Amino acid sequence: MFLNNNKYLFDGGSGQTLMEMGLDTYGDLWSAKALIDKNLHHMVLKMHKDFINAGSELIVTANFSVRRRLLKRYNLLDSLEFGIRSAGEIAQKAKLESNKKTIVAGSLPNQSNTYSPMQFETEETMFKYFFEVAKILNDYVDIFYLDVLSSIKEIQIALEASKEFNKQILVGAHLRFDGKLPSGEALEDLFKIINQYNCCGIISACVSPEIVELSIPILKKQKLPFGYKMNLFKRLPTSDQKTFNTEGFEGQAEYEDPVELLGTRDQEYGLKEYKNFVSNSIKEGATLIGGCCEVKPRHIEALSKLF
């Protein structure tokens, strides 16, 4: 079983890392541009290898932004399959060229607005979309990763859609300011669902440090390995009760630099502070540790000695 008997260090945020490397994207396509443009694939490959060389034992395919709703907005829907397949191919190539025992997790991203529990598609359509991504990535990945999902219903649909491929599944549930899913559902109710599937772990996904601390005592109540992929944004819309918006925030504004919109905590969480935070969470029982938005290879390298 993957992720069962050890601590594992994951990667960080692909989009912000690529932008720091010089990716010239537009709107909120972020890393999707580097996947749908073959001339930019070398950047994605370097990004994955930088994380692996920094100490990441698990990398996530970079197709989070390669989603139907997003590509349709930019008239790029014809690039969907190519972008997803490229994400799998490049991640696998990075693993092989690095010659390390790296786990490649195939990203099955949310099918609604990011951080939002609202469903804009029927359950049948959502199943079809999750199945589509899983089928394209299946030959390139070791496990599937439910990437920042926001409701129990969406998570269960993704689990059903991916179970045909007989791969273990890492559940990445986004959590809001009070430790519940953005849908208002309790994590304890999610535990009852994931126990029915071939899951190898559960993490709080793309959450603030405060929510990581809030989630650990809850995640301790179940038996799977657990942890988090923590972001370093300042103003995530789900992290504060006053700003929480169930409709999500994706697409509300066109922007090229998410840091300008959401701010960064990179100074507040320097490498020393970041390492201390992770060390304390390990003492509390977390074994699956990674970063999300604003976490770069240098952050992962700072953590590597803990693993």
Taking the CA of residue 55 as centre, how many other CA atoms within 13 Å lie in the half-sphere pointing to its CB? Answer: 18
Q: What is the pLDDT of residues 127-179, one digit of tens each?
A: 999 999 999 999 999 999 999 999 999 999 999 999 999 999 999 999 999 99
- Show me where the domains of the chain are located: 8-306
Q: What is the pTM of this model?
A: 0.96
CA–CA gap between residue 292 and residue 228 (Å, rounded): 9
The answer to whether the CB of 131 falls within 8 A of the CB of 165 is: no
Average pLDDT score over the chain:
93
CA–CA gap between residue 277 and residue 279 (Å, rounded): 5
Res 297: pLDDT: 97
Res 250: pLDDT: 56
Closest CA to 65 of 22, 105, 13: 13
Query: Is residue 92 scored above 80 in pLDDT?
Result: yes
8-306 homologous superfamily: Homocysteine-binding-like domain (3.20.20.330)
CA–CA gap between residue 241 and residue 215 (Å, rounded): 16
Res 266: pLDDT: 83
Q: Which pLDDT band holds residue 220 (cuts at 50, 70, 90)?
A: very high
Closest CA to 71 of 43, 39, 109: 109
Q: For residue 169, report the phi and psi dihedrals to the nearest 5 degrees.
A: -130, 130
Res 256: pLDDT: 61
Mean pLDDT throughout 299-306?
95
What's the sign of the alpha-carbon dihedral 135, 60, 107, 7? Answer: positive
Q: Which pLDDT band holds residue 255 (cuts at 50, 70, 90)?
A: low
Q: Which pLDDT band holds residue 2 (cuts at 50, 70, 90)?
A: confident
Mean pLDDT throughout 78-89?
98
